[in-house]
């Protein structure tokens, strides 16, 4: 059986790589790439896979083969609508909604919550800011508690 990892999906510049590094306990330089990166505990998916609907098949296939959980990220500092309505429902494993950069532009929180509901992510939602140390430990604990 293949090792299951947490798959992280989100738009460009939403904090995917920063979150992935935190989940992997990695403290080195950021590695930005347009490739799928398999970390010790995570799968960092390129933002183009969610920005271009015909590439959804790559997300779905990767999730079926290698993911224990899906983290769908929305960026509170720039809440672009990138996901199709009901997008979260295509995955078989648990889907967790994450609002990144929650310390920036609090006036956008309501937009982010609406987006997560529209794409089919069920509560609870996690509001995080990796640089500020907000919410990451609660997210990690939730992932552990829902791992089969």
28-87 pLDDT, tens digit per residue, is 776 666 788 888 999 999 999 998 888 999 999 999 989 999 999 999 999 999 999 999
pTM for this structure?
A: 0.93
Q: Does domain 5-145 have CATH number 3.40.50.300?
A: yes
**What digits encode the pLDDT tens for the residues 86-132?**
999 999 999 999 999 999 999 999 999 999 999 999 999 999 999 99
Place of tokens 């779905």: 60
Look at residue 27 and tell me whether its pLDDT is greater than 90.
Answer: no
CA atoms within 13 A on the CB side of 92: 9
Widest CA span of the chain, in angstroms? 45
Mean pLDDT of 10-28: 91
Residue 77, Cβ density class (10 Å: 0-12 exposed, 13-18 middle, ≥19 buried): middle
Tell whether the model's pLDDT for residue 145 goes beyond 80.
Answer: yes
Model pLDDT, residue 115: 97
Q: According to the model, what pLDDT value does residue 32 have? A: 66
What is the model's pLDDT at position 148? 62
**Residues 44, 17: contact at Cβ < 8 Å?**
yes
pLDDT of residue 65: 87
Per the CB < 8 A criterion, the answer to whether 89 and 121 are in contact is no
Domain boundaries, the chain: 5-145
Per-residue model confidence (pLDDT) at position 1: 43
Q: Is the pLDDT of residue 9 over 50?
A: yes
Q: Can you tell me which residue has the tokens 């997300």?
A: 59
């Amino acid at each position: 059986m293949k090792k299951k990892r947490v798959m992280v999906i989100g738009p460009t510049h939403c904090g995917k790589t920063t979150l992935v590094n935190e989940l992997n306990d990695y403290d080195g330089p950021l590695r930005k790439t347009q490739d799928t990166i398999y970390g010790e505990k995570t799968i960092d998916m390129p933002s183009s896979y969610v920005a271009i609907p015909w590439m959804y098949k790559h997300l779905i296939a990767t999730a079926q083969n290698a993911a224990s959980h899906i983290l769908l990220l929305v960026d509170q500092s720039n809440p672009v609508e990138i996901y199709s309505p009901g997008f979260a429902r295509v995955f078989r494993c648990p889907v967790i909604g994450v609002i990144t950069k929650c310390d920036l532009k609090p006036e956008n929180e309501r937009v982010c919550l609406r987006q997560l509901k529209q794409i089919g992510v069920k509560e609870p939602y996690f509001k995080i800011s990796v640089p500020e140390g907000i919410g990451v430990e609660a997210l990690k604990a939730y992932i552990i508690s829902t791992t089969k």
